[in-house]
């Protein structure tokens, strides 16, 4: 199926006066409604006294309605898939473990896996997992000109910008209501601006876990980064949990938790020491641990930081995510899922999942969202590691194939947060210098080819004198779909929901996509036919 919309005419033409007025309306609306960041600082103050608006687009970006609906529909299947992966210890040991898998060559992954393996051997206190997920897609132009959606990655830890993306969608609706966007495009109509309720949806997942824990007065722990600038993407979840569910939050860093966290040896209850002004007993019980940090190696600068992570994992609190679910989100897992029979194992195997199996149509829809990818360590059958090449120090088939197709590829390591991938012309020299023992840590993925389009991008200055003028640019937009899943226990049931979406837009020449790292702006969807 193809879209009749002409992406090349976007964004609509505006006069300088119209552009200036829209920028003023948008910037003041962003500041008034919490579409905010803390400004850059060597050290963030304990009590913030200033903020800047987050980067955003002036127009929503066009996205075909039938593909938007498909992405939302796929999320339910992806929720179930990744829940089942996280419950399959044998699979994760093979793909991500430090004995057979990625953990052999990636110290960060190896450290997490070894800690998780020891905790399993000792006996885990909490069988339930909570995942707040985001599946990211780009529009892809097929050879015949039709459009499809292709998955960039699936995120299982610290999925961000749910709250701010809801606010930027509201900002674009506000601009439509106040200006009509000066009737600059017939597509800019109310019915083409889909509702986005990420805050309610994501908070409902956290509340589901809290209620499953079932202790009155327990709190949810947000594990956060020190000096966090993106607090305005986190606080709305806190407010929603308090207002809708009367659930209170406590926020702490790993360093703080090293001093305050303890696990009762007989009950496995996780307690956080606090001021007696907060709780007369001097501690609070934790129902759910929600990680907004802990996904990058630099967040574990000492062995003590791993010790703190494993302490939390040992407890009875429900983790979002567990270490198993964090490992399930690995790029290597994404690559293995493209291999024959793997999806079928998780989605259609009646001996494992009985009446919970999904249809062949569900599996085929997921496969349609995959780009071709392979591990740099694979042999010529494209399934098994090239052990002979590893021993001999020669090039694996996967490396030779990546060299040949370099201009149409991206190389991805198991790293989150943006700025880690290797693209096109840089691939050959990168492969020249990649030690053979590290090849297992990288996957090659065919590049996605989005349609040509554009937008106006607005970034805040850090001082009053810096310009906030919109920059017109050729752009690429990435759609993310949010979902949650609560799963585990003896019957391995999965309760899941699809809950909303985001759009991140970047200049066409930027290979990376992180908003927090400065590559992208926040955007929203304009549905087109």
**Is 3 assigned a catalytic role?**
no
158 labelled binding-site residue: yes
**Is 160 assigned a catalytic role?**
yes
Three-state secondary-structure class, residue 61: strand
461 labelled binding-site residue: no
293 labelled binding-site residue: yes
332 labelled binding-site residue: no
Q: Which of 27, 153, 208, 287 is catalytic?
A: 153
H or E, element range at 199: helix 198-213
372 labelled binding-site residue: no
454 labelled binding-site residue: no
- The DSSP call for residue 100 is S
290 labelled binding-site residue: no
326 labelled binding-site residue: no
Q: Which of 416, 454, 477, 483 is catalytic?
A: 416
419 labelled binding-site residue: yes
**Is 155 assigned a catalytic role?**
yes
What is the rounded distance in angstroms from the CA atom of residue 116 to the CA atom of residue 112? 6
**Is 65 assigned a catalytic role?**
no
Tracing tokens 């007989």 back to the chain, one arrives at 266
49 labelled binding-site residue: no
In Å, what is the CA distance from 117 to each residue of 90, 94, 102?
A: 11, 12, 14
| The pair of three-digit structure tokens given for residue 25, joined into one six-digit string | 């309306």
150 labelled binding-site residue: no
134 labelled binding-site residue: yes
In Å, what is the CA distance from 324 to each residue of 188, 225, 308, 313, 316?
A: 44, 21, 16, 10, 15
**Is 504 assigned a catalytic role?**
yes
Q: Which of 117, 271, 331, 497 is catalytic?
A: 331
493 labelled binding-site residue: no
Q: Which of 34, 356, 379, 417 is catalytic?
A: 417
CB 444 within 8 A of CB 411: yes
**Is 496 assigned a catalytic role?**
no
- The DSSP call for residue 231 is G
Q: Which of 3, 79, 148, 160 is catalytic?
A: 160
Q: Which of 70, 72, 117, 134 is catalytic?
A: 134
**Is 433 assigned a catalytic role?**
no
415 labelled binding-site residue: yes
H or E, element range at 453: strand 453-458
Q: Greatest CA separation found in the chain?
A: 70
Q: Which of 483, 504, 520, 524 is catalytic?
A: 504
What is the rounded distance in angstroms from the CA atom of residue 207 to the CA atom of residue 288? 9
Q: Which of 380, 383, 398, 384 is closest to 436 using CA atoms? A: 398
Q: Which residues line the annotated binding site for Mg(2+)?
A: 153, 155, 416
Active-site residues: which are they? 134, 153, 155, 160, 331, 412, 416-417, 504
Binding-site residues = 134, 153, 155, 157-160, 228-230, 234, 292-295, 331, 412-421, 423, 445-448, 478, 504, 506, 512, 515-516
**Annotation: binding site for substrate:** 134, 157-160, 228-230, 234, 292-295, 504, 515-516
């Amino acid at each position: 199926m193809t879209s009749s919309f002409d992406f090349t005419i976007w964004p609509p033409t505006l006069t300088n006066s119209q552009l200036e007025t829209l920028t003023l309306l948008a910037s003041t609306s962003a500041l008034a409604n919490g579409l905010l960041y803390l400004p850059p600082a060597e050290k963030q103050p304990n009590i913030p006294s200033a903020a800047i608006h987050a980067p955003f687009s002036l127009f929503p970006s066009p996205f075909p309605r039938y593909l938007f609906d498909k992405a939302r529909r796929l999320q339910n299947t992806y929720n179930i898939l990744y829940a089942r992966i996280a419950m399959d210890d044998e699979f994760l040991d093979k793909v991500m473990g430090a004995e057979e898998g990625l953990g052999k060559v990636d110290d960060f992954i190896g450290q997490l896996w070894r800690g998780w393996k020891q905790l399993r051997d000792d006996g885990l206190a909490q069988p339930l997992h909570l995942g707040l997920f985001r599946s990211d897609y780009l529009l892809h132009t097929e050879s015949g000109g039709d459009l499809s959606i292709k998955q960039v990655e699936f995120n299982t830890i610290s999925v961000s910008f749910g709250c701010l993306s809801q606010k930027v969608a509201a900002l674009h609706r506000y601009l439509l209501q106040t200006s009509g966007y000066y009737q600059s495009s017939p597509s800019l109509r109310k019915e083409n601006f889909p509702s986005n309720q990420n805050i309610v949806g994501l908070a409902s997942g956290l509340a589901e876990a809290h209620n499953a824990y079932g202790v009155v007065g327990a709190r949810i722990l947000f594990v956060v980064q020190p000096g966090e600038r993106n607090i305005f993407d986190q606080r709305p979840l806190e407010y929603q949990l308090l207002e809708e569910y009367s659930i209170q939050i406590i926020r702490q860093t790993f360093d703080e938790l090293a001093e305050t966290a303890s696990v009762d040896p007989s009950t496995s209850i996780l307690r956080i020491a606090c001021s007696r002004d907060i709780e007369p007993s001097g501690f609070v019980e934790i129902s759910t641990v929600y990680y907004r940090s802990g996904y990058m190696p630099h967040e574990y600068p000492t062995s003590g930081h791993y010790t703190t992570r494993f302490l939390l994992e040992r407890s009875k609190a429900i983790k979002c995510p567990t270490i198993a679910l964090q490992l399930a989100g690995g790029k290597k897992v994404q690559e293995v899922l493209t291999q024959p029979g793997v999806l079928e194992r998780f989605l259609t195997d009646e001996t494992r999942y009985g009446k919970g199996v999904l249809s062949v149509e569900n599996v085929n829809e997921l496969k349609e969202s995959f780009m071709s990818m392979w591990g740099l360590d694979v042999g010529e059958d494209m399934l098994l590691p090239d052990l002979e090449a590893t021993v001999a120090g020669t090039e694996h088939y996967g490396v030779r194939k990546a060299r040949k197709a370099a201009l149409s590829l991206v190389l991805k390591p198991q790293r989150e947060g943006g700025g880690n991938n290797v693209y096109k012309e840089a691939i050959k020299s990168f492969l020249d210098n990649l030690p053979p023992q590290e090849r297992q840590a990288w996957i090659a993925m065919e590049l996605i080819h989005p349609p040509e389009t554009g937008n106006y991008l607005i970034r805040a200055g850090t001082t009053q004198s810096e310009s906030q003028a919109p920059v017109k640019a050729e752009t690429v937009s990435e759609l993310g779909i949010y979902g949650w899943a609560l799963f585990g226990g003896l019957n391995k049931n999965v309760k899941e929901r699809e809950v909303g979406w985001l759009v991140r837009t970047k200049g066409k020449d930027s290979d990376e996509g992180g908003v927090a790292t400065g590559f992208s702006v926040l955007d929203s969807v304009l549905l087109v036919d």
